[in-house]
Amino acid sequence: MSTERLSTSRKDLSDSRSRTTSSSSSCGGKRDSKSKECTLNAEDGYVRMFLRGRPVTMHIPDDLRGSYSLDQKVALPDRKLKLQWVYGYRGRDCRCNLYLLPTGEIVYFNASVVVLYNVEEQQQRHYLGHNDDVKCLAIHPDMVTIATGQVAGTSKDGKALPPHVRVWDSVSLNTLHIIGMGVFDRAVTCVAFSKSNGGANLCAVDDANDHILSVWDWQKEKQLAEVKCSNDSVLGAAFHPMESNLIVTCGKSHINFWTMEGSTLTKRQGLFEKHEKPKYVLCVAFAENGDAITGDSSGNIYIWAKGGNRISHAVPGAHEGGIFSLCVLKDGTLVSGGGKDRKVVHWDHEYHKQGEVEVPEAFGPVRCLTEGKQEELFVGTTRNAILQGSFSRELTPIVQGHTDELWGLDVHPSMEQFVTCGQDKQVHLWDTTTHQPLWSKAIEDPARSAGFHPSGAVLAVGTMTGRWVVLDTETRDLVSVHTDGNEIISNVKYSPDGAYLAVASHDNFVYIYSVTDNGRKYSRVGKCSGHSSFVTHLDWSTDSQFIVTNSGDYEILYWEASSGKHITSMDAVRNLEWATSTCVLGFSVFGIWPDGADGTDLNAVCRSHDGALLASADDFGKVHLFSSPCSQPRAPSHQYGGHSSHVTNVAFLHDDSHLISTGGKDTSVLQWMLA
């Protein structure tokens, strides 16, 4: 299956049927830049490339000097990536985005991927039609057709990718219709199918200042009506289950009942009268008899009698704090999910409390509720987790993820495990077969980097504050805490023999520690000083004697590990073998740079352990796969979407069976199979 790549030039917008291009592309120069070409100095044995006009000089190993030419071509790699697993769920700022399908799969989204997850069979399928953050999700009454809406994005060549709704088949994963290209502004934040007329209509609310509510005949891709919904944020929109021309919207200080006649939408505001008027009406659901039910930021449940705009029944103070989700069960009873109190409460037909269960504090407030099989419930939370349980047994997590920007990643040296850490101050050690954390640990500072000791017994975590810590991988206990400078620690990397740890900082230095007692004792032996900008990447030589570093001003410097001494003789380093290849600047990788790149476009690169592949992470949500070595300008790559923000890091598992990639602001972790 090739991952869809979407090209949206103007001519494509009219012909939205043929929007998939192949997943292989040479990253040729789409930017209109007069970038200087690479040059070869055969006599002195170096290649020079230019980033933002700055020269970057890379030295050719002696065994290639005689035969190397800039005109040779690098082949596309034989291997390809296939998305196998998406870790995490977008609960922090999206709502109504968790449903159970008749196939037994729960459907939700993270980054630009819509996930269909069969919990019993531990299988995921993925809809990959979107090219930026998915923000909303709706299920058709046929329980097969799905609509998802996305934000406006920007493509690699600076073109706008318009927000739109995609209607697709959840069995085949085929895209059926693309709606609203060039109509929506900023993002589609709410989407819903009509229920009573066979689901023929779809409504959507965008993120324009006036939050435009529009109604569509989705099969004809034709807009039927639109209206300014509210100047304030709109948090929910739903068709009435019995009246196909009635839509209810809710949000900041409003609930509106809309009637559609022809192409006109007429509004009646909900009247709170003697009842407390909340700051936000957070969610709306419908009782079996057609009454509308709302939950609000003051913790009240209000019942609005069918067809009217007045409150017929109130349950004041149903929750302490806001009510983020309401779900009417098949038996007609109601379940509500609380924010501040993290409670999931069951109410009978007369709105008397039947029972409750609490979400453990680590997983945060309830974001979304959906009914499972028998008495089961699925609960999405604002800390990007999904839990499963019922009122008779506790809620247990089935999906977990980070909740803030994510950069730190490393793979276990010998097991199917990897570690991630992010600005949410969380460190997770993941098992790639169960796709669950083996453990999670909260640390004191936002985290930025991670590295396993070659024994696998401990791992180091670098933070945003100059502090770095060492954790025991078995017990997650704190083994050691150190501080070097007060800036971001961009890299923590042990030498291949485990005798040294290099700590690279945004204060322009690399601190070298000797490591004893199997990773439990640290003493500083050197400090590499010579960069004039922050250190971004670092690799060790296979013999653990030397370090190479990259910096924010595109310098490549070499160091003697035991002393921290800067090595200036190129003949001393040009033939060194490097244990890893994570530096984005260097002779063996410079072909990963696209034409006209600005130097910050590539965040990470990683070489497979067999030396045949390079994966790179770019600022445009793409993971690229190149052949390695990649020593010709602008090498071709397979490229893959899934992340919606900058991809911050990539790493091959110890046996090269999988690749892990991390998203920055999308906080997602993707696991790719090598096919």
Element (H, E) at 63: helix 62-65
CB 323 within 8 A of CB 283: yes
Does the structure show a pLDDT above 80 at 492? yes
Compute the average pLDDT of residues 183-204.
97
Q: In what order do the strands lie in the sheet with 301-304?
A: 281-286, 292-296, 301-304, 311-315
Least confident span in 168-177, 352-361, 597-606: 597-606
**pLDDT tens digits, one per residue of 127-148:** 999 999 999 999 999 999 999 9
pLDDT at position 35 is 54
What is the C-alpha separation between 314 and 293, in angstroms, rounded?
10
What is the C-alpha separation between 551 and 451, in angstroms, rounded?
19
pLDDT at position 31 is 40
**pTM (2 decimals)?**
0.93
Those residues whose C-beta lies under 8 Å from the C-beta of residue 453, and which sit 6 or more positions away, are 459, 460, 494, 498, 515, 518, 519
Does the structure show a pLDDT above 60 at 472? yes
pLDDT at position 80 is 98
pLDDT at position 18 is 30
- Full 3-state SS string of 428-487: EEEECCCCCEEEEEECCCCEEEEEECCCCCEEEEEECCCEEEEEECCCCCEEEEEECCCC
Give the residue from 648, 666, 643 showing the smallest Cα distance to 93: 666
Instruction: Specify the DSSP class assigned to residue 580.
Output: -
What is the C-alpha separation between 148 and 130, in angstroms, rounded?
9
Does the structure show a pLDDT above 60 at 608? yes
What is the C-alpha separation between 274 and 266, in angstroms, rounded?
25
Q: Which residues of 132-141 are buried (b: 16+ CB within 10 A; e: fewer)?
A: bbbbbbbbbe
Does the structure show a pLDDT above 50 at 20? no
What is the C-alpha separation between 144 and 111, in angstroms, rounded?
22
- Give the CA distances from residue 325 to residues 291, 322, 334, 368, 383, in Å, rounded to whole numbers and listed in that order: 16, 9, 11, 5, 15
Count of C-beta atoms within a 10 Å radius of residue 570: 15
Compute the average pLDDT of residues 304-331.
97
Does the structure show a pLDDT above 50 at 569? yes
Question: The tokens 């068709």 sit on which residue?
Answer: 239
- Mean pLDDT for all residues in the chain: 93
Output Rg (C-alpha) for the chain, integer angstroms. Answer: 27
Give the residue from 494, 566, 563, 501 showing the smallest Cα distance to 529: 566
Q: Where are the beta strands (DSSP E) in 553-657?
A: 556-560, 565-567, 602-607, 613-618, 623-627, 636-640, 647-652
pLDDT at position 3 is 39
Compute the average pLDDT of residues 261-286.
97
Q: Please, is 603 exposed, middle or buried when counting C-beta atoms within 10 Å of its C-beta (0-12, 13-18, 19+)?
A: buried
**pLDDT tens digits, one per residue of 97-117:** 999 999 999 999 999 999 999
Those residues whose C-beta lies under 8 Å from the C-beta of residue 468, and which sit 6 or more positions away, are 460, 461, 462, 481, 482, 483, 484, 489, 492, 503
Instruction: Specify the DSSP class assigned to residue 404.
Output: S
Does the structure show a pLDDT above 90 at 371? yes
Banded model confidence at residue 37, pLDDT cuts 50, 70, 90: confident
- Residue 637's SS3 state is strand
What is the C-alpha separation between 643 and 669, in angstroms, rounded?
9
CB 238 within 8 A of CB 247: yes
Does the structure show a pLDDT above 90 at 444? yes
pLDDT at position 155 is 79
pLDDT at position 597 is 83
Give the residue from 195, 204, 276 showing the smallest Cα distance to 234: 204
Report the share of the chain in percent with pLDDT over 70: 95
Sign of the C-alpha dihedral computed for residues 387, 379, 167 and 120 taken in this order:
positive
Instruction: Specify the DSSP class assigned to residue 541.
Output: B
Banded model confidence at residue 19, pLDDT cuts 50, 70, 90: very low
Give the residue from 4, 7, 3 showing the smallest Cα distance to 155: 7
Banded model confidence at residue 271, pLDDT cuts 50, 70, 90: very high
Give the residue from 335, 200, 349 showing the smallest Cα distance to 289: 349
Compute the average pLDDT of residues 317-340.
97
Residue 619, CB-side half-sphere exposure with 13 Å CA sphere: 13
- Give the CA distances from residue 10 to residues 14, 161, 182, in Å, rounded to whole numbers and listed in that order: 7, 10, 10
**Which of 632 and 53 is assigned the larger pLDDT?**
632
What is the C-alpha separation between 304 and 180, in angstroms, rounded?
32
For residue 629, whether the previous peptide bond is cis, meaning omega lies within 30 degrees of 0, is: yes
Strands 353-358 and 343-347: antiparallel
